[in-house]
Amino acid sequence: MSSSSVAESILVVDVGEINTRALLFDVVDGYYRFVASGSGPTTMGSPLHDVGHGVRMALDHLQDITGRVLVGEDERIKEPAHADGPGVDAFAVVMSAGASLKVVVVGLQRDISVESTQRLAETTYSQIVDTFYLNDHRNTQARLNSIVRLRPDIILIAGGTENGSRQSVLKLIEPIGLACYLLPDELKPQVLYAGNQALAKEVEALLMPLTSFTSAPNIRPTLEVERSEPAQAFLARVYRQSRIRQIPGVQELDTWAGGLLMPVATAVGRMVRFLSLENALKGVMAVDVGVSATTIAAAFDGQLHLGVYPQYGLRDGGKGLMTRGNLEDITRWLYMDIPDEEVRDYVYNKALYPDSLPATAHDLAIEQALARQAIRLSLEKLAPSYQNDITGLYPGSSPAFEPIIASGSVLTNGRAPTAPALAQSLLMLLDAIQPTGMTTLILDQNNLVAALGAAASINPTLAVQVMDSGALLNLGAVICPVSDVRMGTPVLRVHIHYESGSKEKFEIKKGELSVLPLAFEQAASLHLKPLHGADIGMGAGRGCRVNRVVGGAMGLIIDARGRPLRLPKDPAKRRALYIRWLRVLGG
């Protein structure tokens, strides 16, 4: 394929913690569409210890489904596509499999550059194992010992505004150079420097001969400004290099992809940022609840805020909460009466066997409770990065997002005998995200967003057309009035004008969760009148006309339960409330 031609068919391989999928996009009837996906187990661990085997199984499955030859006799992807059908025009890889990268964070000031560098580390699959800063009361020997003992995969260095401190930064770098000198080649950490650019060449001269070194723009050019996005791209490359070094088979995949392998979280963030440029009035959010991590991506007019939290993945999230003695943080989300001991057993078994599926209704209820808490904690971690600039309807609330895209097996998995109904998926998202104002909830039932993020760098038009094609499921438009009136007080009057010419009027009271009649893909216009000072995102008491709203799979949802959502302390009353909400949603 020439550099000037457009890739019409794109194959993306997604190597997850449990499963590997191959996703094919191509032109169908003149438009770019998601064609099909094949899957296989991720074969990173015993007995095969090579992700390539799982990739080939996924590709074989995809070829069986489509009848299209994608792999040649040389066991490589056939590129470019041939006129008679075989092959594809482009190939990309996204990956979330593998243990979290161990990271040491280095900065000058604990509450400035260190915090910025920690947020940078949280944009990929990482675990911060130590932090160095000027006043941490450790000398060079102690810091050296820590690096040698912990054997981090990556060391992130920041600190120093542009043309700022020199000697202090070099002092912090000294034990890093010593550790890289002492450690054998296979244990040397990769180093990413994102500090004072006036020192970049000097730091490079010190560390480049000793280990793999990358320099990125300063993430804290001034005390008031934090700019991590450029460094995020560099960190994604460091992640790629680490996975190539650590996991057999990744090198071959990366070669096939022409160096286009990227973390799933980076691909999701790229897609969310891309969509936010199309919607300058509101932000765009994506939530991915996975086994290895929960990822939140929020973008406002092209400004991306990305958080990847392995500690809140379904494998380790519940175990970590119980270690801190917060089992009630999980059980408060249960809609069934399940003993604490049973919840503990399930959480520990999930940690041991992360590929296990819910086998009973109790298992499913526990897993959904874990997902709610994982999303809540992840949002709390990421929100401070954007709440200083973009405010919600009340202090600490989420700002307006349109749409909110959700993915992850706990929301979409159809393989389990007790797979979640759409009503359960919808209620999980409403409870965990607690959106305000007006938004649309989109369920990424085919787990396409990361693949589209990778494809967007090859063919942006493909990503847009697939998003608009219905490959992602519109759960429904959601209106969430915020007010401080008493429960039972009317807060919103809704007039629906259907395209057929008929009209309906509804009055919503605080505390209610309602589904209004708007069939799937049926269009209507709305006239919204907040009552008693309620706010739907237009200002207290200010109404609006929505010229066109399209019904989702669950209709038109009004969530007037209040923000923040307050649950009864009594477990029996709480469970009864959950059951009532599920019935309202059709579950």
Domains annotated on the chain, with CATH: 10-95 (3.30.420.40), 101-246 (3.40.50.2300), 266-584 (no CATH)
Instruction: Tell whether the model's pLDDT for residue 51 goes beyond 80.
Output: yes
DSSP letter, residue 87: S
What confidence tens digit (pLDDT) does each residue in 356-377 have? 888 899 999 999 999 999 999 9
The pLDDT value recorded for residue 317 is: 65
Instruction: Tell whether the model's pLDDT for residue 415 goes beyond 50.
Output: no
CA angle 214, 217, 222 (to 5 degrees): 140
Task: Grade residue 3 by pLDDT with cuts at 50, 70 and 90.
Answer: very low
Q: What percent of the chain has pLDDT over 90?
A: 69
For β-strands 473-480 and 437-443, DSSP reports them as antiparallel
For β-strands 213-215 and 101-106, DSSP reports them as unpaired
Instruction: Tell whether the model's pLDDT for residue 184 goes beyond 90.
Output: yes
Task: Grade residue 565 by pLDDT with cuts at 50, 70 and 90.
Answer: very high
DSSP letter, residue 344: H
Token pair of 493, please? 């009057």
For β-strands 303-309 and 190-193, DSSP reports them as unpaired
Instruction: Tell whether the model's pLDDT for residue 2 goes beyond 50.
Output: no
Residue (of 226, 243, 198) closest to 118 by Cα position? 226
Instruction: Tell whether the model's pLDDT for residue 410 goes beyond 60.
Output: yes
The pLDDT value recorded for residue 466 is: 95
Task: Grade residue 474 by pLDDT with cuts at 50, 70 and 90.
Answer: very high
Residues in the chain: 587
Instruction: Tell whether the model's pLDDT for residue 5 goes beyond 80.
Output: no
Give the residue-averaged pLDDT of 271-281: 86
Give the residue-averaged pLDDT of 178-205: 93
Could you list the beta-strand ranges (E) of 310-421: 401-407
What confidence tens digit (pLDDT) does each residue in 443-463 have? 999 999 999 999 998 999 999
Q: Which of 24-28, 39-43, 276-280, 406-410 has the lowest mean pLDDT?
A: 276-280
When the pLDDT of each residue in the chain is averaged and rounded to a whole number, the result is 90
Instruction: Tell whether the model's pLDDT for residue 417 goes beyond 60.
Output: no
Instruction: Tell whether the model's pLDDT for residue 102 goes beyond 70.
Output: yes
Report the distance separating Cα 479 and Cα 498, nearest Å: 18
Three-class SS of 282-326: CEEEEEEECCCCEEEEEEECCEEEEEEEHHHCCCCHHHHHHHCCC
Rounded CA Rg of the chain: 25
Q: What percent of the chain has pLDDT over 70?
A: 94
Residue 501 burial (C-beta neighbours within 10 Å; 0-12, 13-18, 19+): exposed
Report the distance separating Cα 324 and Cα 326, nearest Å: 6
